[in-house]
Amino acid sequence: MIILLLSSKIPNETINFVLLNSISMKTLILGVGNLLLKDEGIGIHAIRALENETLPPDVSLMDGGTGGLHLISWLQGYDRIIMIDATLDDNPPGTIRLIQPRYASDFPHLMSAHEIGLRDMIEAMSLTDNLPEIRLIVISAADINEVGTNLSPEIQAVIPKIVQLVKSLL
């Protein structure tokens, strides 16, 4: 939504005009990860949490699995994509960062096991001039290779914060 506030002075009074222009952006929230590798599946767990939220009608949710070039055809037609994924970095587990990548090189250096697929996907979309606005929410994990279907307590605890961040971006 764009809010434009125009102010015009008229003798002895001020008139304020507020123009609300609802320009709808078709948005995809894409969670990626592997549910069999505990914290590596945070993107999918976040999508499941968002399924219980009231979201605008122009917002779609997608479980992107482990990502990759095969997702390109599914992503075309969106004005904005919000991706959620795990990353290995020097931050404490559960740290949430918001990145706006334009090129594959803008991704964190140690994203999860499927980082090459996501990087390649972004690069391919940019080469076709069909790159929507992309926001990447990365959640720091201590280990993305531990087998299990439940998130660690540190990662589980940040799901409400991820949901809140996603909703603030809409």
Residue 144's SS3 state is coil
In sequence order, the 6+-apart residues with CB closer than 8 A to the CB of 164 are none
Q: Which H or E element spans position 123? A: helix 115-127
pLDDT by residue for the chain (170 residues), tens only, comes to 333 334 344 444 433 333 333 457 899 999 988 999 999 999 999 999 999 999 999 999 999 887 666 677 777 789 999 999 998 888 999 999 999 876 666 766 555 555 555 666 667 666 666 678 889 999 999 988 899 999 999 999 999 999 999 999 99
Domains of the chain from N-terminus onward = 25-169 (3.40.50.1450)
The single-letter code of the amino acid at 156 is Q
For residue 113, the model assigns a pLDDT of 52
Whether the model pTM is above 0.85: no
* Sign of CA pseudo-dihedral 124, 125, 128, 133: negative
Q: Backbone dihedral region of 67: left (phi > 0), alpha (psi from -120 to 50 degrees) or beta?
A: left
